[in-house]
Amino acid sequence: MSYALEIDGLMKEYKPGHPILKGINLSIDGTGLTAIIGPSGTGKSTLIRCINRLVDPSQGAIWLNAGGKRVDLASLRGGALRATRRRIGMVFQEYNLVERLTVMENVLCGRLGYMNAFAAWRRKFAQKDIDYAFQLLDTVGLGSFANQRADALSGGQRQRVGIARALMQQPEVLLADEPTSSLDPKTSFEIISLLREQGRAHKIPVIVNIHDVELAKRYADRIIGMSGGHVVYDGAPQGLSDDFLKQIYGGEDWL
């Protein structure tokens, strides 16, 4: 079987001899939301960032099924890497919007990876891209905000723009690195629900690195618990017992 994403023996060390990821093996498919949980510093962001190659893996393979073709993201360079990377949508904790641009312009930025350099420089977007961006803005509940500047939005609204921009890439997989860390509990729930819903609507898997275990247990279809650079739990939220939580986070006073 060919998975949407298959990670095989992934290792990452920022300093030689000090591995952060110590041999991660994962297969991700379907349209569910997978939550990655684990203590601070265990390598959750590093894992997400290796997948979209914001960080270069030290060893291992990351197979992405892009348009029916299986490519190893870990070994790609230059133009081949850029072409494959545009098929990976990424939502950031701090939104990473261009503050002085409008909501619509920010969403259209998701298309830049598909355009030639001159068209990208002129920000000359095709009408079908503009139409799709309007459609996505409606989907994320910001239909009437297209002409607002990004710096006039609340955190939750910014994250909705970030999700629309990632979907604009027509990705094969959607990654989110702590997308709710800066948001209140109600908005966090809305953003996680939106990610899950959009994963289903676009028939792509969603992988979210998240600190809030309760939120993960309530809304994820699958939980990956990391500790010390290893995966120590991989299964349904219902199976994430206190024993596993102790193994992931250590101690028990907090349970």
Ligand X SMILES: Nc1ncnc2c1ncn2[C@@H]1O[C@H](COP(=O)(O)OP(=O)(O)OP(=O)(O)O)[C@@H](O)[C@H]1O
Residues that bind ligand X (CB under 6 A): 14, 20, 38, 40-46
Taking the complex as a whole, the smallest distance from the CB of residue 236 to ligand X amounts, in Å, to: 22
Residues 205 and 242: their CA atoms lie apart, in Å, by: 27
Tell which residue, 19, 7, 37, has the closest CA to residue 244.
37
Helix (H) or strand (E) holding 19: strand 18-28
Taking the complex as a whole, the smallest distance from the CB of residue 20 to ligand X amounts, in Å, to: 4
Taking the complex as a whole, the smallest distance from the CB of residue 13 to ligand X amounts, in Å, to: 9
- Report the 10 Å Cβ neighbour count for 192: 25
Residues 234 and 47: their CA atoms lie apart, in Å, by: 15
Q: Nearer Cβ to ligand X, position 42 or 139? A: 42
CB 104 within 8 A of CB 131: no
Token pair 């000359």 is found at 124
3-state SS class at 254:
coil
Token pair 């028939």 is found at 203
3-state SS class at 186:
helix
Q: Nearer Cβ to ligand X, position 46 or 139? A: 46
Q: Nearer Cβ to ligand X, position 13 or 129? A: 13
Q: Nearer Cβ to ligand X, position 41 or 143? A: 41
Residue 219 vs residues 32, 48, 193, 215: alpha-carbon distances, Å: 10, 19, 7, 6
Taking the complex as a whole, the smallest distance from the CB of residue 26 to ligand X amounts, in Å, to: 15
Taking the complex as a whole, the smallest distance from the CB of residue 111 to ligand X amounts, in Å, to: 29
Q: Nearer Cβ to ligand X, position 45 or 198? A: 45
Token pair 């979210």 is found at 208
Taking the complex as a whole, the smallest distance from the CB of residue 249 to ligand X amounts, in Å, to: 11
Q: Nearer Cβ to ligand X, position 105 or 212? A: 212
